[in-house]
Structure 1
């Protein structure tokens, strides 16, 4: 396969001839027409004495003036920007050319010797017809644009993923520049996937199965010359045959290039699509300005990406990490929690298997979860996922999928709820094995208390802040509970229940050594007013919690409530806010019932 070195255009095969009315001006144009349209602007109407003119563009490299007058006479219709060419003998208008270094020349279609029955010359876009002839405006068709298909052929190279690029040659648009193999949807008889398969075979000689074609990115592009188009870019990682130059008159070189280090001399349109793809975006706008070059210029990068929703996967670096771990992934489903933080996707493999890919919000959460998976989580057996792969630089992990659905929002009978809480107790006991290590649960929360109270001030009821401070003051006198391994975020959304009643636990990014009651903070809100649930959990746990442990739990609940109120108010999370307010109200009511005189001693 030949890597491009020099730009040597080859002769084009699609050649058309034309000229003026008297024959003094003659020309040939080679290449395919670009953006055929009718224009009713004031310049076109006044020059022609007609409501509109029928234009198309051709590659300037394919234009030759062959008549006795040579080039036409030129008139600057837009001084400094564009000029129109006409015959100085008969006055026929034939061409339009932008100033500077244009890649295309405009040709009046009616100046061609034969323009009948040519689908490629049918005007796609009516332009400003109402300016010269208002009565034409009602008949104006909807704006239409060509649809391009681009092949993003990808392989693994020694330094990372590589993509195939070819150098355009001959009388074509952007001759001498690198571009992905591409073409147009031929008409209503052909869909985009069929067009990609056809163009891929015509340009590279390889065969692609429709099942191996994945949508990568869509680009709404406008060239410096003005025409707009839609580019559909499709990723292909598996094919039959070896890529080769199949159209030497249109392509004179072809090679693989690192996706992370794309070469100079690329078509800006193609470069925009690859940059968007590399950064994990599915949709991009790339509207170039009249003074821009067709070649990519970093100083005039017009790429503008938009976020996507739905089943978009993670960025390419995380996708590659996951696929190195489990193989080709056919689809991604974002299952992240709506709150800011870690991102999680359900990844479905080409063979139907499922995994979960998680990108942590920071190195601390990543380290905690990986350490838990590598040390004590395997002891939970089938009740927890298995770590498949971890990358601290991303930072991301891949874990196995579990059966069941989240208990968050699930509806069960009272009897069934008691059984579920009994199972939660059993699972918590399995997690809470003795562990030696620093317990910073209370010190960390206390260090943030005054800041959280200040941030939550407008949401707190009178006396709430003093109540929490009094609890904390008593907590510092309590004996420290035994330290165990804790999940750190044991709540219903991190618990799964399958149809047979088996319980599973996920999400260990907050796991650390601490008191056992640390894992009861989010569960205690659920058994408020339901002593049967509290008893069921204790039964499953194997023992009741001591009075000292429950007093310590009350302190942790209060601190968590204040934290939730300030955070919920900051990020506009109504559930966190309401749970915090509800918890403080409950704790104060319980304290007042136990001490109706309000003694502080």
Structure 2
């Protein structure tokens, strides 16, 4: 059982200055050591969240995301930024209802509806059609950064990866670079997966990202997105990697529903880029997971490489 992380008094004072006196505070952090999130309830029963970013980069990305791209999602589709504190790397956010899709047992129609809405929201967030010039340049630079990081990940993995798999990762990095100019840019979420998608309905309870609730009745659900600390300009296809390496692996119906919501299929360049990005994500998983005791991350990396080797990775 992980230790409870108390809300620092200075952060409580800051939050109360913005929203008024608090009646309850609950640690809502993820099990990761560097996760710092608290669920706040004020004296009027309203819920808010304080999130303390682990690094200045995450703080800057999330703040910029909430100020620029996230409003395009629409009312109730994401938390609203109430206040920020750059000195403490803290964000004060409103709560949105629902529970992570990854924690719910949804019916097949509900699960498809959730992914269809996920696609709709990501299309809005990406904003490719009205991408500013600096966003396009940053997205191209992101491709180069992602490809260059492959060697760093392989060095950290060491002999835990066979030479054949190391070659697979290097080949993916080379192929990705050749696609740079062909990939549609977007303001990506950066961690688009079911745990960051909240599904709500008549039977669901309020929750910001760590909430729990039962599955809503069929046809009545609504999706919201949370956790934008990895949001940035990058190729839009990069937001499909975690889904392709997770729930879509054995569920083509979820993939189809997502792209119905997204409003367009993958381009030829994106179809070739997706398995390349998956291979690079796998290398990152195997560099990070074992070192931090995150077995689910390690397993995702191994599972992805296994599917790529067998030629069964869906694209």
**TM above 0.5, one fold?**
yes
Alignment: residue pair count: 286
- 1:151-230 residue pairs with structure 2 within 5 A? none
Alignment check: 8 A CA contact 1:442 1:556 kept:
no
The residue aligned with 1:574 is 295
Q: Does 1:556 align with 2:277?
A: yes
Q: Does 1:520 align with 2:240?
A: yes
Alignment check: 8 A CA contact 1:565 1:581 kept:
yes
The residue aligned with 1:350 is 43
Structure with greater contact order relative to length (CA < 8 Å, sep ≥ 6)? 2
What CA distance in whole angstroms lies between the structure 2 residues aligned with 1:482 and 1:431? 13
What CA distance in whole angstroms lies between the structure 1 residues aligned with 2:314 and 2:266? 21
Alignment check: 8 A CA contact 1:313 1:319 kept:
no
Structure with a larger share of its residues in strand:
1
- Structure 1 alignment gaps of length 5 or more: 1-307, 595-601
Q: Does 1:385 align with 2:106?
A: no
Q: Does 1:448 align with 2:168?
A: no
Q: Does 1:409 align with 2:103?
A: yes
What CA distance in whole angstroms lies between the structure 2 residues aligned with 1:508 and 1:486? 9
What CA distance in whole angstroms lies between the structure 1 residues aligned with 2:200 and 2:260? 21
Structure with a larger share of its residues in helix:
2
Describe the shift of the 1:340–1:479 C-alpha distance in structure 2 as closer, same or farther (beyond 3 A): same
What TM-score does the superposition give when structure 2 sets the normalisation length? 0.85
The residue aligned with 1:105 is none
Please say which structure displays the higher CA radius of gyration. 1
Q: Which residue, 10, 32, 38 being the options, matches 1:317?
A: 10
RMSD value, Cα: 2.0
Q: Which residue, 73, 83, 93 being the options, matches 1:399?
A: 93
The residue aligned with 1:368 is 61
Please state how far the C-alpha of 1:345 moved relative to its aligned partner.
0.6
- 1:419-568 residue pairs with structure 2 within 5 A? 419-434=113-128, 435-436=131-132, 437=135, 438-439=138-139, 440-480=141-181, 481-499=183-201, 500-525=220-245, 526-568=247-289
Q: Does 1:359 align with 2:80?
A: no
- Structure 2 alignment gaps of length 5 or more: 202-219
Q: Which residue, 298, 307, 315 being the options, matches 1:586?
A: 307
Please state how far the C-alpha of 1:591 moved relative to its aligned partner.
7.0
What CA distance in whole angstroms lies between the structure 2 residues aligned with 1:452 and 1:590? 23
SS at match of 2:25: strand
SS at match of 2:38: strand
What TM-score does the superposition give when structure 1 sets the normalisation length? 0.46
Q: Does 1:332 align with 2:25?
A: yes
Please state how far the C-alpha of 1:318 moved relative to its aligned partner.
1.1
SS at match of 1:579: helix
Alignment check: 8 A CA contact 1:460 1:581 kept:
no
